[in-house]
Structure 1
């Protein structure tokens, strides 16, 4: 059974506070205390209200395509990083309706870690199968166990490169350690503060590692098919 790829709608924040013109002062105070920059409109999905620090008010602003994201996209769609580089908060539209917002810190949710755990499990399994398909032997293989069962990811990657010149990303090893040891995927600026401000650079590193994993999984799956006996 293949693992379903999570979609943007699976990690979005859907419990939103909307801009209410009859309570604009309270809306401003709420956003100021929580460092929130914008609120969606209650009446019009095409606009949002951007908080203006200097004038202590909100500016009505159009939700343009560069800050809009499709809720049906897979969570590691190759255009997502560039969207976040333009804006750290995106408005999620599912079937042309505003359904939530997405901040890059939402990638720290459990559903993302669980998905990557399954991907990494499959990747390591396929690397072991590839070594066996290449005719390699595991000198420490125990009876009843698959070959290379005791080899960690780093050793599998290094051996495939040294013996077969299959150059796979070593960055995936860092991603594996993050997932398997339940490390935080997106770093906070200051863990002693209660402002929950996150480092975008750590998200970029994380996202690029996942992209490397997805690319190398395709390579390994292709090599396995090529090595299959006809």
Structure 2
């Protein structure tokens, strides 16, 4: 079973990767959609999706992003077929433990956008940081540490994308949000406006940035 928003995200990501790269990723849309849409268990789906990436190294940069999409799809589609309290079960707790090193912060952002859709509110960076992630709460200092580059650069919401790029390029390599910094900031600058050309012109890692940006801008 596949959530329509996730189906769109898969298509958008692979189309963007094709348009802004040199590899034709479009034929993989059906492969990933099939892997996401089976009735297999979550971990079996993870293995199937990983196998697709293993067979095509040119898509490797999207592996963990697609893990995030698979997780969102599980919450929004697959879990509905399971017992109501499955996400509180020992089995799911073990799955979370086994996949602790998988995925990216895109997962949290997609969960936030899902909440925005449910509550019919517009996504805003300040709301995401302070109301969803609770970065100013003493109990959530891990989130503050992860998002510190975003928190300290919120002024970029009113800056040209060229400035966002400059900051992204100066982030240390061990910064957890280094790869996602540019597409996240570009998205929050104007979530309702798909100024794709400007975003692409200033992208740091073009194929990756545009794949993530297209997922975010069309996640409705």
TM-score normalised by L of structure 1: 0.25
**Which structure carries more strand by proportion?**
1
Kindly indicate whether structure 1 or structure 2 has the higher relative contact order, using CA contacts under 8 Å at least 6 residues apart: 2
Pair member with larger Rg: 1
